[in-house]
Copies of this chain bind each other. A is one copy, B any other.
């Protein structure tokens, strides 16, 4: 995912395809899609080589997503060797698999040889064991060993995301020796921003930013200008944890080391940006009750992935309904209660979702911890109390006037206050507890929290009314 410096991608101002591909709103231009579609239909390989093969991988990815599904494979076939497989790291998983499944293992092996190791791993990890082994078997020895090592690390680990190509030098080299090496060596990574300093056993001893080399005189020894790396990333560290290191210390790249402290790869910021995006995405989706679905999923796939969440919600809805059922005699006498009760439950739900959202995000970004948890719990309870009084009075007045009954006004005001406090406590405590027991607070919080506010809302309102009208 990092081949900007590649020669065939260099553009001149008079021949800038990139700027032409997108329309104002950021989508691929319609007329470009039309001409590509026409060229595919006409098997116009010259046009495709000229206008499509030279696109940046992410532009090509967007194009693949924009054209009709049956054109995708045709495009890949027509481009042949000119198709940049890296574009597949930029499309939805279902599109990637659709294309890869139709390519022969020999074709994939040939194309994968040109990729950075992190991109190659990204494509290989989705394939089934057998295909993967067949493809690996066709790669040169060093590459095969490197890719296999990355694939051996657990999914979503730093080892999976790392690039195994890097530049390393021994500590006793001088700046001049290092520059001469870089000038002569033909097999350098396409792009690098750091040089790692290692001992003869590949143990990481330091790191050198390129600007540090450029500032120093030729005779300066590397070990005198290198930094000790305070943040080497263990290969089995979760990618999310590694991303947090990058964010906290503004890293551009970090050495990835195995359990013996030996350098095995480098994790770069561009991959970390993707991880940060994915993690934030995941939280939004989970809070909204959506799993790992993609825009290209079919109706059936989407429906199936959303059913579990709806089922859980159905159960809690029946629970809330059965609470209402306890008071059916009261409702029969005073229908106004049925009219008003969703307001109490709904407002509690809204207040709780505010508190819950703040809590889930604070947990995800590690902004909440033992030092401030109690302060925030106190604050949220205070907010619940304050807004409960405010909205209790407001609703009490409106409902009292609507049904011309001061009793109903007083009852709904009290129930609202109770439910707003319950909402605040549930909104903060449930995510905290889920996090404490090791569950993902974003997944399960919404269900639990709305159950609390529904049940409390209905029970307090209908219960209060039953009690009040029984004694009066």
Chain A residues within CB distance 8 Å of chain B: 1-2, 4-5, 10-13, 16, 18-19, 25-28, 30, 33, 56, 58-59, 65-66, 179, 182-183, 188, 191-193, 209-217, 227-228, 230-231, 244, 246-252, 269-270, 272-274, 276-277, 280-281, 283-285, 287-290, 293, 295, 297-300, 302-303, 306-307, 309-310, 313-314, 317-318, 320-322, 324-325, 328, 331-332, 335-336, 338-343, 345-347, 350-351, 353-354, 356-358, 360-362, 365-372, 376, 379-380, 382-383, 386-387, 390-391, 394-395, 398, 454, 458
Contacts and interface: CB of A to CB of B under 8 A. Distances in A.
Contact of A383 (B287, B302, B343): B302
A231 B212 CA distance: 26
27 contacts: A10-B228, A19-B230, A26-B366, A28-B371, A30-B370, A66-B371, A66-B372, A182-B214, A183-B216, A210-B210, A250-B270, A280-B284, A283-B284, A284-B357, A287-B288, A288-B354, A288-B358, A293-B358, A297-B379, A298-B379, A303-B382, A303-B386, A317-B346, A317-B347, A324-B339, A331-B331, A346-B454
A331 B324 CA distance: 13
B26 A357 contact: no
Given A281-B361, A303-B386, 19 more contacts: A10-B228, A16-B230, A26-B366, A33-B371, A56-B249, A59-B248, A65-B372, A210-B210, A272-B273, A277-B365, A280-B281, A280-B284, A289-B354, A295-B376, A298-B379, A310-B350, A310-B354, A310-B391, A331-B338
A387 B251 contact: no
Contacts of A249: 4, 56, 58
A370 B346 CA distance: 35
Which of A188, A246, A274, A281 has its CB near the most chain B CB atoms (within 10 A)? A281
B331 A335 contact: yes
Nearest to A427: B288
A228 B12 CA distance: 6
A281 B65 CA distance: 27
B5 A209 contact: yes
Contacts of A336: 328
Complex copy number for this chain: 2
Contact of A307 (B324, B379, B387): B387
B27 A370 contact: yes
Task: Select the residue from A11, A246, A318, A328 with max chain B CB neighbours within 10 A.
Answer: A318
A336 B328 CA distance: 8
A231 B310 CA distance: 45
A285 B214 CA distance: 44
Contacts of A216: 183
Contacts of A4: 227, 249-251
Given A183-B216, A314-B394, A289 B335 contact: no
B347 A386 contact: no
Nearest to A379: B299
Given A26-B369, A211-B210, A369-B25, A325 B339 contact: yes
Contact of A357 (B56, B290, B325, B340): B290
Contact of A10 (B65, B193, B227, B454): B227
Contact of A209 (B191, B280, B300): B191
Nearest to A19: B230
Contacts of A273: 246-247, 250, 269, 272-273, 276
